[in-house]
Chain A
């Protein structure tokens, strides 16, 4: 169990599209890596060494800082049995912890339900981006989904501050509890009132935020900034979630160039985010998780890589015990899974279980649907 000064908070950055683990945390001395990555192999002298075996992609210097501080957990060989190569299905599996059947509830929806059983705070979980990822879906758990924190709210199309405030007043009155309009109408009125309340609270976050750091202007940078702003505003939010631009990591072609840009963005943004929280003395109770729905094929296709299985994930935070968790999968042809894939040895549900048990102090088993040995990366 981890002791934090304030209630523990989880931030999640989902890397959509299938991040190529092999070119992110690189088995730098492995001859097979050179054999199978004739086009995309990163020259050894450019790799940033982590230990004797592995190293970071050259663009990931900012993340290496946290490794040096002992605050970065690297999960290698992470995945689940019988991998799906579909973005949708595999992401659903990571979201619902249901590799066998189609699940409807998300693991963080369930966790939010435990953290705030009576939905007392409409902002216990907040998503940044359009539409709710399945990870946060759970009947009766309200989750705000914020496309842009700076402009979030109702009737955002009305120009002029006074006009909009007037309109919102009318809205508030129209949605105030009515008598005798029926159960469905009552419910909608209550929901509208809740939505207005949530939006009112959230809209104060950017106003009260100042910082010396500057986030990158990319979607990843801006959403992580929104996460920091919401956290710093002290609304009692426990789960903060965002997703990188849809399928951006789906590097079938021209991977060398595209991924260098993405990894630069992710590494810089993590650095900016942690610096921002530290500057506000607000990093102690935050763990940041980064994951992707799958890794990619061992062999490059002459220009990129295609959908694969086991990949890499990361956790960063003041209470994270730096280290490599899981075993780097063998690249030897005989050890590759059907399809030319790395075989997983660390179930993602072990990482979730650790977060749920050691961080949120919840019973992980009903949330992830089983007992998974914890990867004890939090202290």
Chain B
């Protein structure tokens, strides 16, 4: 019997588990927009919530095993507060940086959530910000800020000193339209989710354009407002294809590998929640029998990260949870 292989067949991906549930505080998330995962597996998730529930706006700290650690930050304009959080990232010492696209500022916290400092000035001049979206920190502890409203990427020192920029508004190579997410690979390349141009652009560490992936649409390899993205140690690129409700995976050369549409099972906290609401267990069982895909599927995934074990962690925004996939070195049954 012949075995047919098509495309890139050297990888195996497997759904691992889901983390979290919808909650305005404590053991859950509300409209999470981004996360940062420390080497020890601590996860920092920034929750945007919404205006009439400002209590849902904070950074939730949990472990990948779904243990609640703490939460910090609150809705507002004072030091240590934020209004429209878009992104969170860690430096080499474990400090936490958060971008707020309404206040146009970056806030620095210790890993325990103590406010350290803030920087950022609204505007379009060098070093000024207009709707900061994605954040990334390179191995030299420089911070890249995707300056969405100015359609560019700016590089700063960790204390906010402007270093350089690249990009401008447009749709040609190296130009942006409201970019959002950013990722760096092991070699220092910069990948930007060029949100309204429905593509990923790859740059050298000093901002020279190298390649683009994707075009507008919902077909294979096409994107509909990509936002978060990550690159693993093999150079494979994971893109949160926001409005297509999936994560697409591309090889380092830009070829399409596969997509994740979500396979979530109930998380630990999800089970706790249902256990205290037996009527909802019944309701869910009927709904699940009718349409299991609804509960399993990704709904507006908006960020994807690689943890220290190489697991692919997706923020499943609208369902207020994480979905975790693993990439197996050896062929593995899924």
Contacts and interface: CB of A to CB of B under 8 A. Distances in A.
Question: Are chains A and B touching directly in their complex (CB below 8 angstroms)?
Answer: yes
A338 B26 CA distance: 27
B25 A297 contact: no
A339 B283 CA distance: 11
B28 A340 contact: no
A348 to B, nearest CB: 22
Interface stretch (B97-105, B268-276, B303-311): B268-276
Contacts of A340: 276-279
A302 B279 contact: no
Contacts of B278: 338-340
Nearest to A297: B276
B27 interface: yes
A252 B277 contact: no
Contact of B276 (A254, A258, A305): A305
Contact of A303 (B26, B275, B279, B280): B26
A252 B23 contact: yes
B121 to A, nearest CB: 32
B72 interface: no
Contacts of A268: none
B156 interface: no
Contacts of A116: none
**Max count, chain B CB within 10 A of own CB: residue among A301, A304, A340:** A301
Contacts of A302: 27, 269, 272-273, 276
A158 interface: no
Interface in B246-278: 269, 272-273, 275-278
Interface string B21-40: 00111111000000000000
Nearest to A305: B276
Given A306-B277, A340-B279, A301 B272 contact: yes
A297 B277 contact: yes
A299 interface: yes
Nearest to A36: B276
B199 to A, nearest CB: 39
Given A301-B277, A340-B277, A340-B279, A254 B272 contact: no
Contact of B24 (A253, A299, A301, A306): A253
A252 B30 CA distance: 13
Contacts of A301: 272-273, 275-277
B279 A254 contact: no
Contacts of A297: 276-277
Interface in A280-333: 297-306
Contact of A253 (B25, B277, B279, B280): B25
Contacts of A305: 276
A301 B26 CA distance: 11
Given A302-B269, A303-B23, A303-B68, A253 B28 contact: yes
Nearest to B268: A302
Range, interface on chain B: 10 to 19
A333 to B, nearest CB: 10
A297 B276 CA distance: 7
Contacts of A303: 23, 25-28, 68, 269, 272
Nearest to B275: A299
Contact of A339 (B25, B26, B28, B277): B277
A304 B24 CA distance: 11
Nearest to A341: B279
B23 A253 contact: yes
A254 B273 contact: no
B26 A254 contact: yes
B79 to A, nearest CB: 22
A340 B282 CA distance: 12
Contact of B279 (A258, A300, A304, A339): A339
A86 B114 CA distance: 38
A253 B26 contact: yes
A108 to B, nearest CB: 26
B276 A338 contact: no
Nearest to A296: B276
A298 B26 CA distance: 19
B25 A254 contact: yes
Contacts of A299: 275-276
B73 to A, nearest CB: 15
B311 to A, nearest CB: 24
Contacts of B280: 339
Interface string A230-255: 00000000000000000000001110
Given A301-B273, A302-B273, A338 B27 contact: no
A306 B276 contact: yes
B31 to A, nearest CB: 15
A303 B276 CA distance: 11
Contacts of A254: 25-26
Residue of A253, A254, A258, A298 with most chain B CB atoms under a 10 A cut-off: A253
A339 B25 CA distance: 23
A338 B279 contact: yes
A258 to B, nearest CB: 8
A298 B279 CA distance: 13
Interface of A: 252-254, 258, 297-306, 338-340
Interface of B: 23-28, 68, 269, 272-273, 275-280
Given A252-B24, A340-B279, 12 more contacts: A253-B23, A253-B26, A297-B276, A298-B276, A301-B272, A301-B275, A303-B26, A303-B272, A338-B278, A338-B279, A339-B278, A340-B278
The 4 A-B pairs with the shortest beta carbon distances in the complex, nearest first, are A299-B276, A339-B279, A302-B272, A253-B26
10 contacts: A253-B24, A254-B26, A299-B275, A303-B25, A303-B269, A304-B23, A304-B26, A306-B277, A338-B278, A340-B276
